[in-house]
Structures are given as structure tokens and as C-alpha cells.
DNA sequence: CACGTTAATATCGTGCACGATGCAAATATA
DNA sequence: TATATTTGCATCGTGCACGATATTAACGTG
């Protein structure tokens, strides 16, 4: 038995970690123009699709906890992108509403995904590869999030 | 023209970001036993393969900058996993040497990749999928790191 | 050999991630 | 209806990531 398994090159996890950081870096120039970080952009995507959701609903969509989102949303409120307010039905819930400028950003953000895709596509990466990548990653997410879910129940 | 592209579900980048965090979380119970974080584990993998390399060589292997690695290596030195010393040939370089306990950890870490793989494999994710995933990610990394390289030259 | 440039690290500031903990509102249970 | 439990969110502490900047050593050019 050798220990090839401990080589960086033979792991799946390192490429995943590395690619994720590189993608965020690739987004940066476009998001800089909007004055956003990548996680802030994710929050906006949730809100553009469904304005007026609770913090809890955002945590579920993004898989982030409130200890990450609370300060992030506070910063975004300070940036006048959104407003936080207690729900009247359930005083524990905080509802996140986009401001006008938060809504406006959607127009500026619209071309970003397309631009990123063209950066990625090349001789060695075709659109089928990107779609295949997405499929496998989504399966992986299902498996791994079920894992942490079931361990929570114990 | 619609804006489906701005839906979380249609992006590749979000699954990548999400899966990366979930994988790190999956590692956590095993790394906790060794008292390591995931980036620290990555540094050790580099050193197990090539002890006595410079900080610069580690940055290249992991794609991390010195502003991330310097404090990380300091913490690892404090944990008695490695030693930092100036190179005698080039006084600018800092050479990283594993301590005995740093070397010993390799034995404890050996079974981890296997364990993680079995956690991932399931009805919907076969070994071919994992290999395919790795291949596409590595191509993606090549494309994206060339990108940032060429933009540096400008 | 002086001196400008490059290269290898380090430091600083900011923004995530996330485990642990706290707190108040809602809900369940006795 | 008291009380225990759960739920939704916030706060705190630590460790990455990373842009910007500083520092010192090596190198190149006149």
C-alpha cells in the first residue's frame, strides 16, 4: 500500500477548493464595478428572485448560517442595498427587502454570468463539460448536505 | 431575453462555491482529530511530498499568497508541526521543515482520503463521476489561472 | 561600485465562514 | 395556564483569503 492518496494531484477536494477560489477571483473585476463581494452578489440573486424573504430563507438557499449572514446583511443595509425589518406575524423573523438601488443593480448584473461563461469556454472546456460539471456538483451537494442533515438528527 | 441566468440554480459558480464548503465541512471531523484545519492539512500534504521547500514553492502548489500563508505557517510553527528558517543561499527565502510530529501526522492522515471518497460515493455519484469531476475541475483551473497570469503581465 | 529594479516574505485591514453561545419570541407539553 | 422546548436571529472568537503596502535581499545596468 502506497500513499499516493495523500498527493495533492490525486485528490478531488483540492481542485474543488482551488477552482472555487479561482472562480470567485474571476468574478471580482465585474463585481468590483458594482461594489459587491461574491457572497453579497449571491444574497442579491436570492432577493432578485424572491424579494422580501426572511433571513432564514436566505440561509437555506445559500447554505450559510446566520452568523455569516447577519453581519453581511448589516453591511448591505449600510450600503443602502436592502432593509431589514422584523416580521409582524413572527417577531423572531427578520424580513429583507431590496431598496430601489438594490433592485436597480439587477440590470447591471445581468450580463455577468454570460461574460464568465465565455471566459471559461475554451479548447479544453466545452459547454457540455460545464453542464456535466454542474450536474455532478449538484449531486455532490445533495449527498453532502444530506450527510450533515442526518448527523444533526442524531 | 429573460434573466434566468441570474437564477442561482442555473449557475455553475454557486454549486462550485457550495460544494467546496461542504467538502471542507466533510473533512472537519477527521481533521479535528488531528487538530488541523483544511488549509493546514493542504500545507502538510505539500510538505509530506516535499519536505524543506520554500514558502514561495508552497504558494505555487496551493495557489495561495504569502499574506495567507505567512500567518498560517506561523500558527503551524507554534503547533510544533514545522520550523521556519531563512535559506543560507538566498536570505530572502524562508525554508519550511517538518518536525518529527509533523512527519508523524502523515500516518494518521493516510486513511482520510479513502474515508471521504466512501462518503461521497452513492447511487447518484459513481467513481467515474468523481474522476470526471476532477478532470473538468483541473481543466478549469488551467484556464482560470492562465487568465490571471496573463492579466498580471499587462 | 552606486543605484534602480525585481523577488521573497511579512504586515495590515476587511470580509467572509463557522463553532459556540446568548436571547427573545413562538410553540409544545404538562 | 405555567413551564419546558424549539426556533430565528445576533454576537463573539478564530482562522482563513486577499488587496495594498512595507521590508529586505538579490540582481541588473550604467
Residues A31 and A103 in one domain: yes
pLDDT of residue B11: 84
Pick from A20, A120, A136: which is nearest to B143 by CB? A120
Q: Residue A146's pLDDT is what? A: 78
How confident is the model over A51-67, as pLDDT tens digits? Answer: 999 999 999 999 999 99
Q: Residue B55 and residue A29: Cα distance in Å, rounded?
A: 28
pLDDT the model gives residue B38: 98
CATH number (domain holding residue B15) = 1.10.10.10
**Does one domain contain both A35 and A103?**
yes
Contact B47, B41 (CB under 8 A): no
Per residue in B107-144, pLDDT (tens digit) is 999 999 999 999 999 999 999 999 999 999 999 999 99
Question: Containing domain of residue A92, as a range?
Answer: 25-108
Q: Do A36 and A69 fall within a single domain? A: yes
Partner-chain residue, chosen from B5, B130, B147, that has the shortest CB–CB distance to A114: B5
Q: Does residue A94 sit in the same domain as residue A30?
A: yes
Chain C nucleotides near the protein (CB, 7 A): 7-13, 15-21, 24-27
* Residue A132 shares a structural domain with residue A102: no
Min Cα separation A91/chain B (Å): 29
pLDDT in tens, A91-121: 999 999 999 999 999 999 999 999 999 999 9
CA atoms within 13 A on the CB side of B139: 17
Whether A113 maps to a domain, the answer reads no
Q: Is the CB of A65 under 7 A from strand C?
A: yes
- Rounded Cα distance between A35 and A93, Å, is 28
Nearest to B82 by CA among B107, B65, B67, B104: B104
Residue B146 pLDDT level (bands cut at 50, 70, 90): confident
pLDDT > 50? residue B31: yes
Longest Cα–Cα distance in chain A: 63
In a domain, A6, yes or no: no
How much of chain A, in percent, has pLDDT values that exceed 70? 88
pLDDT band at B3 (very low <50, low <70, confident <90, very high): low
Task: Look at residue B149 and tell me if it is in a domain.
Answer: no
Chain A to chain B, count of Cβ pairs less than 8 Å apart?
188
Give chain A's domain count: 2
What 3-state class would DSSP assign to A3?
A: coil
Pick the residue from chain A with its C-alpha nearest to B148. Answer: A26
A125 assigned to some structural domain: yes
Shared domain check, A149 and A100: no
Mean pLDDT, chain A, rounded, equals 92
Model confidence at A153: pLDDT above 70: no
Of the pLDDT bands very low, low, confident and very high (cuts 50, 70, 90), residue B152 is very low
In this structure, of B5-9, B41-45, B133-137, the range with the lowest mean pLDDT score is B5-9
Q: Which of A23-37, A62-76, B2-16, B48-62 has the lowest mean pLDDT?
A: B2-16
* Structure confidence at residue B7 as a pLDDT band (50, 70, 90): low
- Mean pLDDT across chain B: 92
> Which value, to the nearest 10 degrees, does the dihedral of the CA atoms of residues A138, A143, A147, A150 take?
100
In a domain, residue A4? The reply is no
Whether residue B110 is contained in a domain is answered as yes
Question: How many other CB atoms are there within 10 angstroms of residue B135's CB atom?
Answer: 15
Q: CB neighbours of B108 closer than 8 A, spacing ≥ 6?
A: B33, B34
pLDDT at A4: 64
> In chain A, which residue's Cα lies nearest the Cα of B107?
A3
Decide: helix, strand or coil at residue A126. coil
Cα within 13 Å of Cα(A52), Cβ side? 2
**SS3 call for A74:** helix
pLDDT in tens, B69-87: 999 999 999 999 999 999 9
Does residue A34 share a domain with residue A64? yes
Whether residues A101 and A129 share a domain: the answer is no
CA distance B64 to B74: 15
CA–CA gap between residue B70 and residue B49 (Å, rounded): 20
- When pLDDT is cut at 50, 70 and 90, the band that residue B59 belongs to is very high
- Reported as half-sphere exposure (CB side, CA atoms, 13 A), residue B1 has a value of 6
Cα–Cα dist B77/B81, whole Å: 6
* One domain, residues A77 and A98: yes
Dihedral-angle region of residue A27 (phi above 0 means left; psi in -120 to 50 means alpha; beta otherwise): alpha
State the burial class of residue B11 (Cβ atoms within 10 Å of its Cβ: 0-12, 13-18, 19+). buried
Side-chain-side CA neighbours of residue B151 (13 Å): 10
- pLDDT, position A124: 93
User: Residue A58: inside a domain, yes or no?
Assistant: yes
- Examine residue B128 and state whether it is found in any structural domain, yes or no: no
Using the Cα atoms of residue B73, residue B77, residue B82 and residue B85 in order, give the sign of their dihedral. Answer: positive
Mutate to test the interface with B, among A1, A6, A130, A148 (most CBs of B within 10 A): A6
Maximum alpha-carbon separation in chain B: 62
Amino acid at each position: 500500500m502506497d500513499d499516493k492518496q495523500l498527493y495533492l494531484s490525486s485528490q478531488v477536494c483540492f481542485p474543488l477548493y482551488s477552482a472555487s477560489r479561482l472562480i470567485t477571483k474571476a468574478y471580482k473585476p465585474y463585481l468590483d464595478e458594482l461594489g459587491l463581494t461574491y457572497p453579497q452578489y449571491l444574497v442579491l440573486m436570492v432577493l432578485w428572485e424572491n424579494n422580501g424573504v426572511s433571513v432564514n430563507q436566505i440561509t437555506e438557499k445559500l447554505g450559510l448560517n446566520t452568523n455569516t449572514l447577519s453581519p453581511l446583511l448589516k453591511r448591505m443595509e449600510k450600503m443602502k442595498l436592502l432593509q431589514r425589518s422584523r416580521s409582524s406575524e413572527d417577531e423572531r423573523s427578520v424580513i429583507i427587502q431590496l431598496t430601489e438601488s438594490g433592485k436597480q443593480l439587477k440590470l447591471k448584473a445581468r450580463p455577468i454570468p454570460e461574460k464568465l461563461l465565455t471566459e471559461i469556454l475554451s479548447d479544453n472546456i466545452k459547454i457540455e463539460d460545464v453542464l456535466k460539471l454542474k450536474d455532478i456538483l449538484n449531486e455532490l451537494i445533495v449527498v453532502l448536505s444530506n450527510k450533515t442533515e442526518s448527523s444533526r438528527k442524531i
